[in-house]
Amino acid sequence: MVKSLQLPMQFDSTLLHRDLEKIGDTEWIPHFNTRDYDGSWHVVALRGSAGAVHPVQAIYSDPTTTKFADTELLSRCPYFKQVLSRFQCPLKSVRLLNLQPGSIIKEHTDYNLGFEDGEVRIHVPVLTNQDVEFFLAGKRIMMQEGESWYLNVNLPHRVANRSSTDRVHLILDCVVNDWMRTFFQESVPEN
């Protein structure tokens, strides 16, 4: 079982920042899972359940949903759209998650989001720094802006933003297909 994997795909942090600036402050909503964090953790959906009429429906990664659609917000962010196009696999939920300074995501596990489950969660750091601490199964994972990472979030993980700036990740839930299997074989596991 692979715990974490830095993927051989790098994105331009300047262009990621430019698209992030297109999202207005009022478009971010508090993460619905309030028991798993302290502080301020906000989210916007770039892709979500087809037909979602409320922002919470769009950001919730419902495991029973089979139809997904891009949101209007993604149409305003051409580089994010270009990033998504690099993943040659079916995309489910795609969100931006913002953990604000001094906030923490408590240790928790997600379900059925490991390679072996047929669905993976990919992180692309948009804004981050060395004072953001991400731990997966007890090991600190250092992610840099523009990198892409598979993290097996079925395992216990937690995050602390000990910096004075926001930490924003682009998070893609992807279906494992032949392209993804080959992509993983060409990458080097971190564990």
CATH number where 162 lies: 2.60.120.330
Other Cβ atoms within 10 Å of 85 Cβ, number: 9
pLDDT of residue 190 exceeding 70, the answer is no
Q: How far is residue 98's CA from residue 57's CA, in Å, rounded to a whole number? A: 18
The mean-pLDDT minimum among 15-24, 47-56, 62-71, 85-94 falls in 47-56
- Nearest alpha-carbon partner for 129 in 156, 94, 173, 160: 160
Query: In this predicted model, which residue has the larger pLDDT, 90 or 48?
Result: 90
pLDDT band at 187 (very low <50, low <70, confident <90, very high): confident
pLDDT digits (tens, 9 = 90+) for 162-183: 999 999 999 999 999 999 999 8
Provide the CA 190 distance to its chain's centre, in angstroms.
18
Domain enclosing residue 42, as ranges: 4-189
Query: In this predicted model, which residue has the larger pLDDT, 68 or 64?
Result: 68
Mean pLDDT of the chain: 92
In the chain, the number of structural domains is: 1
Mean pLDDT of 49-53: 71
pTM of this structure: 0.93
CB 44 within 8 A of CB 104: no
pLDDT of residue 59 exceeding 80, the answer is no
Coil, strand or helix at 170: strand
Burial of residue 123 (number of CB atoms within 10 Å: 0-12, 13-18, 19+)? buried
Quickly tell me which residue has 């079982």 as its tokens: 1
pLDDT digits (tens, 9 = 90+) for 100-123: 999 999 999 998 999 999 999 999
Q: How far is residue 178's CA from residue 98's CA, in Å, rounded to a whole number? A: 31
